[in-house]
Amino acid sequence: MGGSSSRVTMNPNMPSPGDSSKKSILSDPLDGLNFTDEQFWKYLGELKREPIPLPSWAKLLGVHIAKHEITDLDDGSFLVKDVIGGYYGTEVDVNFKHSYDPDTNTWTQVCDRDPALQRVPVTLRYRLHSEPQRLIEAWCVNEFAVNSGVQVSAMIEAVLGYLLDAAGTPKDGIIVKAEQPSLDGSGRLVAQSGELDAFLSPDAFTEGVEKMIRDGHGTPNMTGIEITEIDELSFKSKETVTTDGVEFVLWAIHSHEGDVGKAEYFEDDTYTGMTHAYVTKAYRSPFRLETWVESYDKRHAGEEVLKAVKSQAEGILEKIAKEPPAQE
């Protein structure tokens, strides 16, 4: 499903012109638009110097840009540091490095967090092509990372709150802490609950989470869900999510084996290229929960990347179109 606008149509998961075995976001041919590489990189550079855009839901919760700093380096690259305030009661640093390679006509953005502000190193690249057609290409590469910070602990608190509200059980006293050493002694850091036996049982938790997902309440801003059964312990979901008026699709496999549950997310409906997974482990006697998020090494160019890249490319081309004609 490609995005469209008055100036540019961008398409996800297309074969890269440089290596057809790799996927990229690709525009439709832009030969009808009169712009130079220099104009495109000029306005992209201006855009990348602006503070990180925050989704409307974050602003409503009081999340804001507390500090915005730019540092120009001698080689022409530059650093951007945004401090996000009001993020689950704390501040989060988001650091970018931007650079341009004239040999490959490629802009590279390296960030130490993903769009959800998890600590995942992410590289986004833009490349302009002139031959055989005028195209904009973009793609992301994520590095492997494990997260169990305040966003993960807040998610578990929200899930427990939803289940207890549904059961009519008071939830006062629920405690979930971020980045705690796992009870299994592995050294892994996890989001970890306190004892939960007074609130619900491990089996009630597993059954409640499955019902929550199947009923379409497992992902924020979900506007639709399709379920496909796999076996007694697992099922697929196609989840339609709308954020700031932009619709995209998440593909996931939900499963549990013993006291370990997983929600594994994939880049498309083949359910083969896994991007990240939420892992939850239950301990009995006493009942406690641990959760962490694994993000995998992955080049990706799906709907979520398209959402960001398309709006940026459209804005750049709009600014170019407003430039006065060159004097002859």
Fold matches, 10-143+299-321 and 146-296:
yes
Q: What is the pTM of this model?
A: 0.78
- Residues of the chain where predicted confidence (pLDDT) is lower than 70: 1-6, 244-246, 325-328
**Predicted local distance difference test score (pLDDT) of residue 1:** 43
Q: Tens digits of per-residue pLDDT, 273-312?
A: 888 999 999 999 999 999 999 999 999 898 889 988 999 9
| Spans of all domains in the chain | 10-143+299-321, 146-296
**Predicted local distance difference test score (pLDDT) of residue 325:** 67
CATH code of domain 146-296: 3.30.530
**Predicted local distance difference test score (pLDDT) of residue 326:** 56
CATH superfamily of 10-143+299-321: START domain (3.30.530.20)
Task: Spell out the SS3 assignment of the chain.
Answer: CCECCCCCCEEEEEECCCCCCCEEEEECCCCCCCCCHHHHHHHHHHHHCCCCCCCHHHHHCCCEEEEEEEEECCCCCEEEEEEEEEECCEEEEEEEEEEEECCCCEEEEEECCCCCCCCCCEEEEEEEECCCCCEEEEEEEECCEEECCHHHHHHHHHHHHHHHHHHCCCCCCCCEEEEEECCCCCCCEEEEECCCCCCCCHHHHHHHHHHHHHCCCCCCCEEEEEEEEEECCEEEEEEEEEECCEEEEEEEEEEEECCEEEEEEECCCCCCCEEEEEEEEEECCCCEEEEEEEECCEEECCHHHHHHHHHHHHHHHHHHHCCCCCCC
